[in-house]
Amino acid sequence: MNNFSYLSTATAKDATAAVTGTKGAAFIAGGTTVLDLMKLNVENHAELVDINMVPFKGIEQTAEGLRIGALERMSDVGEHPLVVQNYPMISQALLQAASPQLRNMASIGGNLLQRTRCGYFRDVAFPCNKRQPGSGCPAQEGENRGLAILGGSKDCIATHPGDLGVALAALDAVLLLENAKGKQRRVPLVDFHVVPGSTPQRETVLEPGELIVSVTIPAAAHAKKSMYLKVRDRASYAFALASAAVGLDVQGGQIRSARVALGGVGTKPWRSLAAEKILTGAPATEATFRAAAAAAVRDAQPREQNRFKVELAQNTLVRALLELSAA
Amino acid sequence: MDHEPAFFETSPKPGVVGMPLNRVDGRDKVMGKAKYSAEYPLPGLVYGVLKTSAIAKGRVQSIDTSLAMKEPGVLQILTHLNLPKLAKTPNDPEGKKAIGAPMGFLPLTSDVIYYAGQPVALVVADTFERATQAAALIRVNYAAEAPIAAYTDKRAQIFNPEKIQDGKADGYTRRGDARAALAGAPIKMTAVYTHAINHHNPMEPGATTAIWEAPDRVTVYESTQGVTRTQKALSAYLGLPQDQVRVITKFLGGGFGCKGSCWPHTVLTVQAAKMVGRPVKLVLTRPQQFTSMGHREDQTQTLTLGASKEGKLLALIHEKTSTTSPWDNYAEANSKIINLLYECPTFESHYELGRANVMTSTFTRAPGEAPGSFAIESSMDDLAYQLGIDPIEIRLRNYAEKDPSTGQPWSSKSLRQCYARGAELFGWSKRNPKAGVTKNGRLLVGYGMATASYPVHNSQGTARVRLYADGHAVVQAGATDLGTGTYTVMTQVAADSLGLAPDKIRFELGDTKLPTAPNSGGSVAAGTVSSSVYMAAQDVWERLTKMAIKDPKSPLFKAKAEDVAMENGRLQLKKDASKGEDFKALMKRAGIDDIEGSGQGKYGSGYEAGQSAANASDAHKDEAGKHSMHSFGAHFCEVQVDPDLGTVRVTRWVSVHGAGRILNAKTARSQIIGGSIFGIGAALMEATARDPHYARYTNADLGDYHIPVNADIPDMTVEFIDEHDPYINAMGVKGIGEISMVGVSAAVANAVFHATGKRVRDLPITPDKILGTKSA
Ligand SMILES: Cc1cc2nc3c(=O)[nH]c(=O)nc-3n(C[C@H](O)[C@H](O)[C@H](O)COP(=O)(O)OP(=O)(O)OC[C@H]3O[C@@H](n4cnc5c(N)ncnc54)[C@H](O)[C@@H]3O)c2cc1C
Ligand code: SF4
Rounded to an integer, the average pLDDT of B470-495 is: 96
- Residue in chain B lying closest to A229 (CA): B645
* Dist. CA B222–CA B512, nearest whole Å: 11
End-of-domain residue from the set A31, A55, A79: A55
CB-CB contact of B140 with B120 (8 Å): yes
Q: What is the pLDDT of residue B603?
A: 75
Does position B199 have pLDDT exceeding 50, yes or no? Answer: yes
Task: Select the residue from B71, B642, B650, B768 to test the A interface by mutation, using most A Cβ atoms within 10 A.
Answer: B768
* Residue A118 beta carbon below 6 angstroms from any ligand 2 atom: yes
Q: Is residue A258 part of a domain?
A: yes
- Annotation: CATH topology of B46-146+204-284: Aldehyde Oxidoreductase; domain 4 (3.30.365)
CATH code of the domain occupying B26-34+459-603: 3.30.365.10
* Contact residues for B439 (Cβ-Cβ < 8 A; gap 6+): B445, B775
Other Cβ atoms within 10 Å of B186 Cβ, number: 10
Residue A265 has pLDDT above 70, yes or no: yes
Question: Residues of chain B whose C-beta is under 8 A from some C-beta in A?
Answer: 53-55, 116, 129, 132-133, 136, 287, 644-647, 649, 684-685, 689, 691-694, 696-701, 703-704, 706, 708-712, 766-768, 771-772
| A142/B772 CB distance under 8 A | no
- Domain ranges (residues) in chain B: 26-34+459-603, 46-146+204-284, 365-457+624-771
Structural domain contains residue A4: yes
Q: Which of B507, B494, B503 is nearest to B541 (CA)?
A: B494
Name the residue of A14, A48, A114, A115 to mutate for ligand 1: max ligand atoms within 8 A of Cβ: A114
Determine the average pLDDT of the residues in A213-226. Answer: 98
Nearest CB to A308 within list B692, B712, B768: B768
> B4: pLDDT confidence band, cut at 50, 70 and 90?
very low
* Share of residues in chain B with pLDDT > 90 (%): 89
* Final residue in a domain of this structure, among A55, A71, A101: A55
In a domain, A152, yes or no: no
Per-residue pLDDT reduced to its tens digit, B273-287: 999 999 999 999 999
**CATH (domain of A309):** 3.30.390.50
So what's the pLDDT on residue B45? 98
Q: Is the pLDDT at B326 greater than 90, yes or no? A: yes
CA distance linking residue B485 with residue B24, whole number of Å:
8
Count of domains in chain A? 2
Q: A7, A42, A103, A113: which to mutate for ligand 1, most atoms within 8 A of CB?
A: A113
Q: What is the mean pLDDT of chain A?
A: 97
Residue A166 has pLDDT above 80, yes or no: yes
A204 lines ligand 1 (CB under 6 A): no
Distance A267 CA to ligand 1 centre (A): 17
B706 → closest Cβ in A2, A234, A311: A234
CA distances from residue A226 to A95, A244, A320, B70 in whole angstroms, order as listed = 15, 10, 9, 58
The answer to the question of residue A298 being in a domain is yes
Q: Is the CB of A111 under 6 A from ligand 1?
A: yes
State pLDDT tens for residues B684-704.
999 999 999 999 999 999 999
Whether residue B54 and residue A308 make contact (CB cut-off 8 A), yes or no, is: no
Does any domain span residue A240?
yes
Tell me, what's the pLDDT at A177?
98
Q: Quick check: B287 and A312 CB within 8 A?
A: no
Q: Do domains B26-34+459-603 and B46-146+204-284 have the same CATH topology?
A: yes
Q: Which of B55, B699, B709 minimises the CB distance to A236? A: B709
Strands A270-271 vs A254-263: parallel, antiparallel or unpaired: antiparallel
Q: Is B738 a catalytic residue?
A: yes
pLDDT at B5: 39
Task: Calculate how far, in angstroms, residue A109's C-alpha sits from the geometric centre of ligand 1.
Answer: 7
Q: Which residues pair with B765 in a beta bridge?
A: none
Give the pLDDT confidence of B421-452 residue by residue, as tens digits. Answer: 999 999 999 999 999 999 999 999 999 999 99
Three-state SS across chain A?
CCCCEEEECCCHHHHHHHHHHCCCEEEECCCCCHHHHHHCCCCCCCEEEECCCCCCCCEEEECCEEEEECCCEHHHHHHCHHHHHHCHHHHHHHHCCCCHHHHHHCEHHHHHCCCCCCCCCCCCCCCCCCCCCCCCCHHHHCCCCCCCCECCECCECCCCCCCHHHHHHHCCCEEEEECCCCCEEEEEHHHHECCCCCCCCCCECCCCCCEEEEEEECCCHHHHCEEEEEECCCCCCCCCCEEEEEEEEEECCEEEEEEEEEECCECCCEECHHHHHHHCCCECCHHHHHHHHHHHCCCCCCCCCCCHHHHHHHHHHHHHHHHHHHC
Q: What angle do CA B499, B504, B506 make, to 5 degrees?
A: 110
pLDDT at B618: 56
pLDDT tier for residue B613 given thresholds of 50, 70 and 90? very low
A94 lies in some domain: no
Looking at ligand 1, which atom is closest to the CA of residue A177? 42
Chain A residue with minimum CA distance to B711: A235
Q: pLDDT band at residue B619, thresholds of 50, 70 and 90?
A: low
Domain-located, residue A26: yes
- Residue B521 is predicted with a pLDDT of 87
Residues in A touching B133 (Cβ below 8 Å): 1-3
Per-residue pLDDT tens over the stretch B749-768: 999 999 999 999 999 999 99
Give B175 or B731, the one with higher predicted confidence: B175
Question: Is the pLDDT reported for residue B2 higher than 60?
Answer: no
Q: Does the pLDDT at position B612 exceed 90?
A: no
Cα–Cα dist B769/B776, whole Å: 17
A29 lines ligand 1 (CB under 6 A): yes
How many other C-beta atoms can be found within 10 angstroms of the C-beta atom of residue A264? 29
pLDDT above 60 (res B195): yes
- The residue whose C-alpha atom lies closest to atom 6 belonging to ligand 1 is A98
- Determine if ligand 1 sits within 6 Å of the CB of residue A70: yes
Confirm whether A198 is domain-assigned.
no
DSSP B361: P
Nearest CB neighbour to A234, from listed B694, B698, B709: B709
Which stretches does DSSP call E strand in B576-669?
A: 580-582, 594-602, 630-641, 648-658
* Average pLDDT of span A20-31: 96
What Å distances lie between residue B752 and A305, B199, B301, B764, CA to CA?
22, 24, 20, 12
Mean pLDDT within A284-300 = 98
Question: What confidence category does residue B769 fall into, taking pLDDT thresholds of 50, 70 and 90?
Answer: very high
Confidence of residue B14 (pLDDT cuts 50, 70, 90): low
pLDDT at position B610: 41
Cβ contact, residue pair A233, B685, below 8 Å: yes
Half-sphere exposure of B123 (CA within 13 A, CB side): 31
Any B CB within 8 A of A6 CB: no
Q: What is the pLDDT of residue B568?
A: 84
Residue B775, pLDDT above cutoff 60:
no
**pLDDT for the residue B606:** 53
The best mutation among A141, A144, A149, A157 to test binding of ligand 2, ranked by most ligand atoms within 8 Å of the C-beta, falls on: A157
Residue that is last in its domain, among A55, A77, A92: A55
pLDDT higher than threshold 60 for residue B616: no
Fold annotation for B365-457+624-771: Aldehyde Oxidoreductase; domain 4 (3.30.365)
Length in residues, chain B: 776
Where residue A6 sits, what CATH number does that domain have?
3.30.43.10
- Least confident residue range of A118-122, A235-239, B93-97, B166-170: B166-170
Mean pLDDT score, B193-207: 98
Number of H helices and E strands in chain B, helices first, is 20, 31
Residue B197 CA to residue B371 CA, distance in Å, equals 11
* Confidence tier at A220 by pLDDT (50, 70, 90): very high
What's the pLDDT at B605?
A: 58
One of B319, B332, B348, B738 is an active-site residue; which one? B738
CA distance B416 to B422: 10
Q: How many CB atoms lie within 10 A of CB B371?
A: 28
| Model confidence pLDDT, tens digit, residues B515-526 | 999 988 888 899
Alpha-carbon distance B464 to B506, whole Å? Answer: 12
Taking contacts as CB-CB distances below 8 angstroms, the residues of chain A near B54 are 124-125
* Distance between B329 CA and the closest CA of chain A, angstroms: 27
Domain that holds residue A294: 221-326
User: Is B692 in Cβ contact with A119 (below 8 Å)?
Assistant: no
